[in-house]
Structure 1
């Protein structure tokens, strides 16, 4: 049963990769990367269960956190064109005076 779930997750990952490369918009591609990360978390969890390695669940949880933070960072970059805090033009004018 879990072997079938692993195969189904692998097929879903391949389909999401196809969507990633053929996505018409940038947001479709970001969504595909996020979905691929989610499927990877599930794949690692099921694979750990099949092999009797419960420490794989810790790895998958860490990967889920990295996937979430990475997706937020990518979306922030595409919206504001910067990751960190950037001074606004009005802030620069106040600092010069």
Structure 2
């Protein structure tokens, strides 16, 4: 029963990833594209966690944490670059 729920969750997260990629490509402004990239990072983290649950290994959870930290820092850096023109003050 849990396998069916995991497959459904993977399909929903995959669909969400595709919709975020469409927003990334069609986004009329830079802010929309940055938000789409951040959404894609969150979806990738969810997919990593779902794969870790499906295979029953803990290494995926640690990699999801590292990916979350890198995704947050890269989103902040990209926003600072768009707003100020530089990352380091």
TM tier, smaller: over 0.9
Is 2:21 the counterpart of 1:8?
Answer: no
- Out of 28, 32, 36, the position equivalent to 2:32 is 28
Q: CA deviation at 1:53?
A: 1.2
- Out of 44, 54, 76, the position equivalent to 2:48 is 44
Could you tell me which runs of 5 or more consecutive residues in structure 2 were left unpaired when the two chains were aligned: none
Determine the C-alpha separation between the residues in 2 that align with 1:11 and 1:51: 21
Determine the C-alpha separation between the residues in 2 that align with 1:59 and 1:66: 11
User: How many residue pairs get matched?
Assistant: 85
- Out of 3, 17, 21, the position equivalent to 1:17 is 21
Pairwise CA RMSD:
0.6
Determine the C-alpha separation between the residues in 2 that align with 1:47 and 1:84: 36
Equivalent residue number for residue 66 of structure 2: 62
Please tell me whether Structure 1 or Structure 2 has the larger radius of gyration of its CA atoms. 1
Q: TM-score, normalising length from structure 1?
A: 0.85
Question: Alignment partner of 1:34: what SS?
Answer: helix
Q: TM-score, normalising length from structure 2?
A: 0.93
Q: CA deviation at 1:3?
A: 1.1
Determine the C-alpha separation between the residues in 2 that align with 1:79 and 1:23: 17
